[in-house]
Structure 1
Amino acid sequence: MTNSARSIAHFDLDAFFVNVECLKDSKLKGRPILIGGKSDRAVVASCSYEARRFGIHSAMPMKLARRLCPQATVISGDMESYSKYSRLVTDIIRDTVPRFEKSSIDEFYVDLTGMDKFFGTVQYSAELRRKITKETGLPISNGMAVNKLVSKVATDEAKPNGQLQIPFGNERNFLAPLPVEKLPMVGEKTGALLKQMGVRTIKTLSEIPVQMLQNLLGKNGSELWRRANGIDETPVVPYQEQKSISTESTFESDTIDIRFLQAQLVKMTEKIGFELRQQNKLTGCITVKIRYADFNTVSKQSVVTYTSADHLLLEKVRELFDKLYDRRLLVRLVGVRFSHLVPGNYQINLFEDSNETIKLYQAMDSLSNRFGRYMIMRASGLI
């Protein structure tokens, strides 16, 4: 399919965590709000547009954010509520459009290709925005373009609570005057490197020979050049919430050793928690399975706030196992499954986690990548 035949809409809930809190307490509207842990070692998970005017942004140390805006209201955060509203918006989109991709807890791509035969896609997107806001109370912005890349940048330019269409053929002209940091894939380090070279706009970046960018950034150089020129053939991947990651263990001999069973659950949870983070996904549902010596199999599941953090996953796995296990019977097998998967990086249970906790997860995963999954693990998984 050629770009000219595509019509891709991107939807992004504005300051999602903050606006959910404003729904719960209307007195917060219009005030500088910081979502995150209240200790000096915590970081900012999200902040209101009023707080952003003070130079505050996500992942900033909370201590610095409070120094920049002493009058800000700090809220610990409520992932249960955020997950609930994310699912509500997902259900509305699922019931309205033919194909969509949930790219994070608060972002969606919708493929409206071919729908102009029946009605205007811009009008259709506007009506979907109104429907989401009417049924949830949450503001949402929308960009529409020939591909996912340009539609996402258009959404960022339309914020807050706006809509922007980039007509086919205008992709490069739209991107050209924007700062290079506006381009997805340009992080802090790449942005600093480009600025050292005098590259401040996407137009300048697009004019650099692709070979030069490859020499500078390796294989990412050619992809960056394509993006700077508005080229992106990435498809909208249909959202299927029921995809899962699971593991189970059948024992050499049936057992009622609680410590052994709990150690196995820790090892399995860490194993698939690592896989979850490697795939940049979060789980919204955890299931624990037990098969007894008589082959009777039972399971219990729980819908949880989206996460990929081992300490949160382990807490729920232990809770489910305690509710499920009948200590009078020998156990043959235990299993753990994570389902309701959505794309997304580790949600720094940003509300209480410190920079140290975040760095610890990153270091553990880095060691597992280099030396193998079982080179580093919790002591409770050793028995």
Structure 2
Amino acid sequence: MSGRVIMHLDMDAFFVNVELLQRPELRGKQIIVARESERSVVLSASYEARVYGVRSAMPLVQAKRACPTAIVVEPSQPYREYSAKVMKILHEVTDRVEQVSVDEAFVDLTPTLKRLGDPVQTAQRVRERIRDELNLPCSAGIAANKFIAKMASSGSKPNGLWVIPPYRVQEFLDPLPVGKLWGIGPKTAQNIESMGIHTVQQLRGCTLPFLQQKFGQSLGAHLFAICRGKDDRAVVTEREEKSMGAEHTFLKDTHEGTQITQELFSLAMGVARRLRSADKYAQNLSLKIRFEGFETITRSCMLTSPTDSGQKIYRAVIKRLLELGILEKQNDGAFIAPRAIRLLGVRAERLQTRSSGFQESLFAEDMTAVREQGAPDWYSVESAMDQIHSKFGSHGLLPATLLKKHSG
């Protein structure tokens, strides 16, 4: 291949295969990775289970109906650690790596052509290293742009390598159903098919003005380009993360204050740990609350100053929920939720880098505490916890607030 060469590498059933490293006796069986509860969704499924229609993000109850003989495996392994090892192997080939999720990445192989030669052999060596060093299977696609590389890796699953040279792009795309095009959701595919257009070749017969009239300027132009295999996007090696969040769905809708505040504390500590890992501060928070009956609201939660402390995030969240009346404080000091809560989410927003520093407000509520001799230095405390967690796992050290949660 000549010109630009892009590889898309995608781990096969990543969460399933990481779990199988500890439970090899389950290989070849119908496996669903999910929390065992009525409200769980499927994190991943083995290919043996996917044959029955089981897919990621499907409610576990529905997945069990589709594949009643499947074995449900609780998520237990450090997926991000295995992900980091995969990305390290890719970075040893080139620094032009764009990680798009925990289990996939785009790699611009163009700069490696003179140094490493044939990109197909380079991709195969990468796949062999991942297999030999991590005992994990992966698939890859190679093409002249990101869109076709992604389509090729999807077509090569499981555990394959597919190369689509420029002169074969249309041969590859034309027979495909429009719903197979990467980035075309079910609703858009349904709208296209309602016009009698079912294949990419048929879509390619539409003019740009026609597609823009039917789907709008932006989507119409996008459809016109991708059915011809055109994609000028570069591999982006550094992606600015604009927010970080976490959510929790309770096993049963709950009014119980201790259960709610413990989960909020766990969410706050988890978000703060991610902030510190990325060397970021949060300047604002967003809260998501889903009540019984599935009514969902989001509310902003202002911080008095930028922070990466779970303790400070937690206190700000509790204060805001009290202001909104979502939590109430009883005479004995305990909390209660007037409306039963199904789901809670905490998201850190308006992120800035720690190295850029920040101006502390002279009127910040916690300035007095910061200046008091002996006041907690939460950054140091929580950073020390980070080091312990990295060595002994997330349960190696827990705040007292969470001991009951994890022991019960």
| Separation in 1, partners of 2:128, 2:14 | 16
Gaps of 5+ in 1: 252-258, 280-288, 306-314, 324-383
| Separation in 1, partners of 2:165, 2:142 | 8
Aligned residue number for residue 293 of structure 1: 371
Q: Are the aligned partners of 1:31 and 1:50 in contact in 2 as well (CA < 8 Å)? A: yes
Query: Please, what TM-score do these two structures have when normalized by structure 2?
Result: 0.63
| Separation in 2, partners of 1:53, 1:138 | 21
Q: Are the aligned partners of 2:32 and 2:49 in contact in 1 as well (CA < 8 Å)? A: yes
Query: Secondary structure at the residue paired with 1:31?
Result: coil
Aligned residue number for residue 50 of structure 1: 48
Q: Are the aligned partners of 2:31 and 2:49 in contact in 1 as well (CA < 8 Å)? A: yes
Shift of 1:204: 1.5
1:264 partnered with 2:316: yes
Paired residues for 1:323-334 under 5 Å:
none
Aligned to 1:123, which of 121, 124, 137? 121
Query: Secondary structure at the residue paired with 2:21?
Result: helix
Q: Provide closer, same or farther for how the CA distance between residues 303 and 76 of structure 1 changes in structure 2, counting only shifts above 3 A.
A: farther
Query: Secondary structure at the residue paired with 1:185?
Result: coil
| Separation in 2, partners of 1:234, 1:64 | 37
Aligned residue number for residue 244 of structure 2: none
1:101 partnered with 2:63: no
Deviates more, 1:196-205 or 1:144-153: 196-205
Aligned residue number for residue 220 of structure 1: 219
Shift of 1:105: 0.6
Q: Provide closer, same or farther for how the CA distance between residues 12 and 294 of structure 1 changes in structure 2, counting only shifts above 3 A.
A: same
Shift of 1:272: 7.9
| Separation in 1, partners of 2:208, 2:319 | 45
Q: Provide closer, same or farther for how the CA distance between residues 141 and 245 of structure 1 changes in structure 2, counting only shifts above 3 A.
A: farther
Aligned residue number for residue 231 of structure 1: 230
After superposition, the CA RMSD in angstroms is 3.6
Aligned residue number for residue 364 of structure 1: none
Aligned residue number for residue 74 of structure 2: 76
Q: Provide closer, same or farther for how the CA distance between residues 21 and 107 of structure 1 changes in structure 2, counting only shifts above 3 A.
A: same
Q: Provide closer, same or farther for how the CA distance between residues 36 and 262 of structure 1 changes in structure 2, counting only shifts above 3 A.
A: closer
| Separation in 2, partners of 1:109, 1:242 | 21
Aligned to 1:113, which of 101, 110, 120? 110
Q: Are the aligned partners of 1:245 and 1:272 in contact in 2 as well (CA < 8 Å)? A: no
CA-to-partner distance for each residue in 1:216-274, whole Å, 9 max, x for gaps? Answer: 222212112211110101110114784645338557xxxxxxx9984326679x99815
Aligned residue number for residue 188 of structure 1: 186
Q: Provide closer, same or farther for how the CA distance between residues 266 and 8 of structure 1 changes in structure 2, counting only shifts above 3 A.
A: farther
Q: Are the aligned partners of 1:20 and 1:82 in contact in 2 as well (CA < 8 Å)? A: yes
Q: Are the aligned partners of 1:38 and 1:74 in contact in 2 as well (CA < 8 Å)? A: yes
Aligned residue number for residue 348 of structure 1: none
Aligned residue number for residue 354 of structure 1: none
Aligned residue number for residue 275 of structure 1: 349
Q: Provide closer, same or farther for how the CA distance between residues 244 and 101 of structure 1 changes in structure 2, counting only shifts above 3 A.
A: farther
Aligned residue number for residue 381 of structure 1: none
Shift of 1:298: 5.6
Aligned to 1:136, which of 117, 134, 147? 134
Aligned to 1:5, which of 3, 6, 27? 3
Task: Say which one has the larger Rg.
Answer: 2
| Separation in 2, partners of 1:178, 1:304 | 50
Query: Secondary structure at the residue paired with 1:149?
Result: helix
CA-to-partner distance for each residue in 1:319-366, whole Å, 9 max, x for gaps? Answer: 77989xxxxxxxxxxxxxxxxxxxxxxxxxxxxxxxxxxxxxxxxxxx
Gaps of 5+ in 2: 240-276, 285-302, 306-310, 321-343, 352-359, 361-365, 403-408
Higher RCO, Cα 8 Å, sep 6+: 1
Q: Name the count of aligned residue pairs.
A: 291
Q: Provide closer, same or farther for how the CA distance between residues 62 and 160 of structure 1 changes in structure 2, counting only shifts above 3 A.
A: same
| Separation in 1, partners of 2:88, 2:184 | 32
Q: Provide closer, same or farther for how the CA distance between residues 260 and 48 of structure 1 changes in structure 2, counting only shifts above 3 A.
A: closer
| Separation in 1, partners of 2:315, 2:137 | 45
Q: Provide closer, same or farther for how the CA distance between residues 260 and 117 of structure 1 changes in structure 2, counting only shifts above 3 A.
A: closer
Query: Please, what TM-score do these two structures have when normalized by structure 1?
Result: 0.67
Query: Secondary structure at the residue paired with 2:182?
Result: coil
Identity of aligned residues (%): 34
1:206 partnered with 2:280: no
| Separation in 1, partners of 2:388, 2:61 | 29
Q: Provide closer, same or farther for how the CA distance between residues 250 and 71 of structure 1 changes in structure 2, counting only shifts above 3 A.
A: closer
Shift of 1:170: 2.2
